[in-house]
């Protein structure tokens, strides 16, 4: 009967952490995506009120990734930020949300095209939650939330399958090293 080496123990711990990480990420993405889809579906029945765009701008965020042996890679995402005003039951309100599940653009030209639909001063239809009129959108639906909701279960299943594989492998390995085998 031989005890597992330190390298094997470290590899096993790393494997379990890897599995738990994917399960956790899968759960988080599933919950976020599902919430966004749920909220987006609710907007389909929201009433509308006339509104006006106060401001419209493109916001960019950049990230750089470096991998060993490779050059660094820079990635920039662009988001359209719109502020609009509207009135419900005599109460003047402001909103910022274009749509639930709204994502970013990889290209500035794509963001610019979307921004051109919401120039400052433009009259727009604002859809608002009748139970909480401060909650509003300019576009009904849930945008690309299905991507988030779809990635979640994929990562979750991957983590679970890897965990089952590791558990079977561990059981098989312990049977081989037990006395009387």
State how far Cα 57 lies from the chain centre: 22
Q: Could you give the CA distance from residue 44 to residue 97 in angstroms, rounded to a whole number?
A: 15
Q: Could you give the CA distance from residue 139 to residue 42 in angstroms, rounded to a whole number?
A: 12
Same domain as 81, residue 4: no
Greatest distance between any 2 Cα atoms in the chain: 83
Is the model's pTM score more than 0.85? no
Same domain as 134, residue 52: yes
Q: Could you give the CA distance from residue 82 to residue 52 in angstroms, rounded to a whole number?
A: 10
Give bridge partners of residue 26 from the DSSP assignment: none
Same domain as 130, residue 62: yes
Same domain as 169, residue 94: no
3-state secondary structure of 111: helix
Q: Extract the runs of DSSP E, i.e. beta strands, from 20-141.
A: 48-65, 73-88, 91-95, 123-129, 132-137
Same domain as 151, residue 129: no
pLDDT of residue 164: 87
Write out the two tokens for 65: 């990734």
Same domain as 149, residue 122: no
Same domain as 147, residue 180: yes
Each residue's pLDDT, cut to its tens digit, for the chain (181 residues) gives: 556 678 777 777 888 888 888 888 888 888 888 888 788 888 999 999 999 999 999 998 887 766 666 666 678 889 999 999 999 999 999 999 998 876 777 888 989 999 999 999 999 999 999 999 999 999 888 765 566 667 778 888 888 888 888 888 777 765 555 555 4
Same domain as 164, residue 86: no
Write out the two tokens for 73: 């890679």
Domain count, the chain: 2
Comparing C-alpha atoms, which of 129, 114, 125 is closest to residue 44?
Answer: 129
Write out the two tokens for 35: 């919430």
Q: Could you give the CA distance from residue 57 to residue 136 in angstroms, rounded to a whole number?
A: 19
pLDDT of residue 27: 86
Comparing C-alpha atoms, which of 65, 148, 54, 60 is closest to residue 104?
Answer: 60
Q: Which residue has the tokens 């965990």?
A: 163
Domain hosting residue 54, numbered range: 45-140
3-state secondary structure of 83: strand
């Amino acid at each position: 009967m031989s005890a597992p080496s330190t390298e094997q123990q470290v590899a096993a711990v790393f494997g379990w952490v890897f599995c738990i990480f994917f399960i956790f990420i899968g759960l988080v993405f599933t919950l976020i995506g599902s919430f966004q889809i749920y909220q987006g579906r609710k907007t389909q029945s929201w009433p509308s009120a006339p509104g006006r765009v106060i401001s419209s701008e493109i916001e960019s965020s950049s990230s750089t990734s470096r991998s060993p042996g490779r050059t660094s890679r820079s990635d920039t995402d662009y988001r359209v930020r719109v502020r609009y005003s509207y009135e419900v039951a005599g109460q003047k309100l402001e909103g910022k949300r274009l749509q639930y599940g709204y994502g970013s653009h990889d290209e500035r030209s794509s963001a610019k095209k979307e921004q051109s639909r919401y120039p400052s001063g433009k009259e727009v239809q604002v859809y608002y939650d009748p139970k909480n009129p401060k909650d509003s959108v300019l576009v009904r639906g849930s945008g690309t939330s299905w991507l988030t909701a779809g990635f979640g279960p994929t990562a979750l299943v991957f983590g679970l399958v890897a965990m089952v594989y590791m558990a079977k492998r561990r059981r098989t390995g312990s049977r081989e090293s037990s006395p009387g085998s």
